[in-house]
């Protein structure tokens, strides 16, 4: 199953992220090495949030990630949520076939 972890950043995120970026990225690379985190990146123009795609059997790995993330712990993330994500084309897609 795929899960999306969505972050909504604070207005001062860009000014404050430097202090916590290395620890945040370490956490992300560890999740990727475990095979949980498939894709991760921040939104651009405006830089007001991020999206991370996890492949796992429950929403617990992305929830644990958010709970341990220095960006969340130090208040750079206003809100976050985990949503199960059903794909129809590409990675993790369901049984749908391309149109003929």
User: Rounded to an integer, what distance in angstroms lies between the CA atom of residue 76 and that of residue 18?
Assistant: 11
Q: Is residue 16 part of a domain?
A: yes
pTM of the model: 0.88
Split at pLDDT 50, 70, 90, the class of 100 is: low
Q: Is residue 99 part of a domain?
A: no
Q: Is residue 48 part of a domain?
A: yes
Q: Is residue 93 part of a domain?
A: no
Q: Is residue 39 part of a domain?
A: yes
Residue 28's domain comprises: 2-85
Count of domains for the chain: 1
Smallest Cα–Cα separation from 36: which of 63, 9, 17? 63
Identify the CATH number of the domain in which residue 34 sits: 3.30.70.1060
Q: Are 6 and 54 in contact (CB under 8 A)?
A: no
Q: Which residues pair with 51 in a beta bridge?
A: 6, 41
What crossing angle do the helices spanning 21-33 and 60-68 adopt, rounded to 10°? 160
Q: Is residue 65 part of a domain?
A: yes
Tens digit of each residue's pLDDT (9 = 90 or more) over 50-89: 999 999 999 999 999 999 999 999 999 999 999 999 888 7
pLDDT over 70 (residue 15): yes
């Amino acid at each position: 199953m795929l899960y999306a972890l969505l972050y909504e950043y604070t207005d001062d995120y860009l000014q404050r992220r430097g202090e916590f970026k290395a620890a945040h990225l370490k956490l992300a690379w560890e999740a990727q090495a475990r095979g949980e985190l498939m894709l991760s990146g921040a939104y651009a123009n405006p830089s007001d949030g991020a999206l991370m795609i996890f492949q796992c059997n429950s929403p617990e790995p992305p929830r644990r990630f958010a709970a341990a993330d220095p960006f969340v712990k130090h208040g750079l993330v206003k809100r976050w949520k985990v949503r199960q994500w059903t794909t129809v084309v590409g990675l993790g897609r369901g049984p749908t076939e391309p149109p003929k």
